[in-house]
Amino acid sequence: MSDEDQPAGHGYIGHKEDYLKRLRRIEGQARGLQRMVEEEQYCIDILTQVSAMTKALRAVSLGLLEEHLGHCVVGAAAVGGAEAEAKVKEASEAIARLVRS
Amino acid sequence: MSDEDQPAGHGYIGHKEDYLKRLRRIEGQARGLQRMVEEEQYCIDILTQVSAMTKALRAVSLGLLEEHLGHCVVGAAAVGGAEAEAKVKEASEAIARLVRS
Amino acid sequence: MSDEDQPAGHGYIGHKEDYLKRLRRIEGQARGLQRMVEEEQYCIDILTQVSAMTKALRAVSLGLLEEHLGHCVVGAAAVGGAEAEAKVKEASEAIARLVRS
Amino acid sequence: MSDEDQPAGHGYIGHKEDYLKRLRRIEGQARGLQRMVEEEQYCIDILTQVSAMTKALRAVSLGLLEEHLGHCVVGAAAVGGAEAEAKVKEASEAIARLVRS
């Protein structure tokens, strides 16, 4: 089924491979951190890597969120009413969790 | 004009007094911090107040964002097309600035 | 008494005027935000200002924290023992509050 | 060599196994996220998992930072002078990167 046919589908699906690639890189960063701890590397260097990994995760979540707004929320808004309201509430709660994490 | 007549109006307007009240309290926190520095209070106590003030600001921005999504973005989505896309992009950029601030 | 005489004094005191100036500017930003809400300006423009104000607050707390580490924590470390441990614990808790705010 | 003998050693080393365990769990979360994207699960559920993973990473960095302050910074402070100053500056920069990531 084409994207045209499902305006309210999961927004990231068109970029599935891109997200998988980014998440594999993040998994690699988690393994790299284990190696650094294993080799007893300097704390500050480990912290720098943790910050880089957190940034990469942030970018993934901001990307997913934008696609979610553009697909699911806009799709629900076209339907309107309670459905739109519920999607806005759900998205806002996800944004709040993101900001606080 | 009533809110009914302008579904795409600024979302916070219905809660204008509430936002003004919260911002006045935040302004008071900024003045309280000046007093603490003036009186040379302990750094950690000042930092605790800065964290409380940052939290209050975060709550304001999450509230504004939710109302923006529920009014402006949902309103634009009802119109659809380029208008909806532009609003989603604009909201996503605001979320990214928020997350990184 | 000079700074030389009190190595464990509050770190920011030497820059008191600078911190007061920054906090007055932040207070002004809080007033500017009230004006924007009063005038019913566009939500995204308000959010941009909230992000700028949050950034300014962050910079104040990172500055205070660095001076706190350089004065109070280093001062306590020179004394050593339980005093040093307590200061490290206190600073770490402040950092955690800061990161989560 | 015992911990007693190297007061300025990497702080996390005593808890190496604990950090490795937490990082392995984080690596597992990164793999879990790939599975969720692979199975085209709902964006909001993926975002919830990303937030949980970010929180786990934050906890690792706050833990490492506390141990770094308690060992390396306090150790350098005992030596004093330029060495202490350099360590405080380095730690403050790591905190700033952490706050902004």
DSSP labels, C35-83: HHHHTT--HHHHHHHHHHHHHHHHHHHHHHHHHHIIIIIHHHHHH-HHH
Report how far residue D77's alpha carbon sits from residue D8's, in angstroms, rounded to the nearest whole number.
10
What pTM was computed for the model? 0.88
For A38-46, what is the mean pLDDT? Answer: 96
- A98 part of contact set with chain B, CB < 8 Å: yes
User: Using CB atoms and an 8 Å cut-off, which of residues 53-72 of chain A contact chain B?
Assistant: 58, 62, 65-66, 69-70
Q: In angstroms, what separates the C-alpha of B78 from chain A's closest C-alpha? A: 5
- Kindly list the distances between the CA atom of residue A32 and the CA atoms of A39, A46, C21, D66, D90, in Å, as whole numbers in the listed order: 11, 9, 44, 21, 22
For B27-43, what is the mean pLDDT? Answer: 97
CB-CB under 8 Å, B94 with C44 = yes
Q: What is the ipTM of this complex?
A: 0.88
What pLDDT does D13 receive? 82
pLDDT at D49 over 50: yes
For B62-72, what is the mean pLDDT? Answer: 94
Report how far residue A25's alpha carbon sits from residue A53's, in angstroms, rounded to the nearest whole number.
9
Structure tokens at D2: 């015992």
- Helix H segments across A1-101? 16-38, 43-68, 74-79, 81-100
Is the model more confident about C17 or about D12? C17
pLDDT at C8 over 50: no
- Kindly list the distances between the CA atom of residue C88 and the CA atoms of A44, B20, C66, C77, C83, in Å, as whole numbers in the listed order: 16, 39, 13, 9, 9
Q: Which residue ranges make up each domain of chain B?
A: 10-100
Tell me which chains share at least 3 CB pairs under 8 Å with chain B: A, C
**What is the DSSP code (8-state) at residue A6?**
-
Count CB pairs under 8 A between chains C and D.
Answer: 68
For residue range D11-37, what is the model confidence (pLDDT) as tens digits? Answer: 788 899 999 999 999 999 999 999 999
For residue range D79-91, what is the model confidence (pLDDT) as tens digits? Answer: 888 999 999 999 9
Q: What's domain B10-100's architecture?
A: Up-down Bundle (1.20)
Considering chain B, what is the average pLDDT of its residues? 89
- Kindly list the distances between the CA atom of residue B71 and the CA atoms of A11, A50, B34, B54, B77, in Å, as whole numbers in the listed order: 21, 38, 37, 26, 10
What pLDDT does A14 receive? 85
What pLDDT does B3 receive? 42
pLDDT at D5 over 70: no
What pLDDT does A9 receive? 55
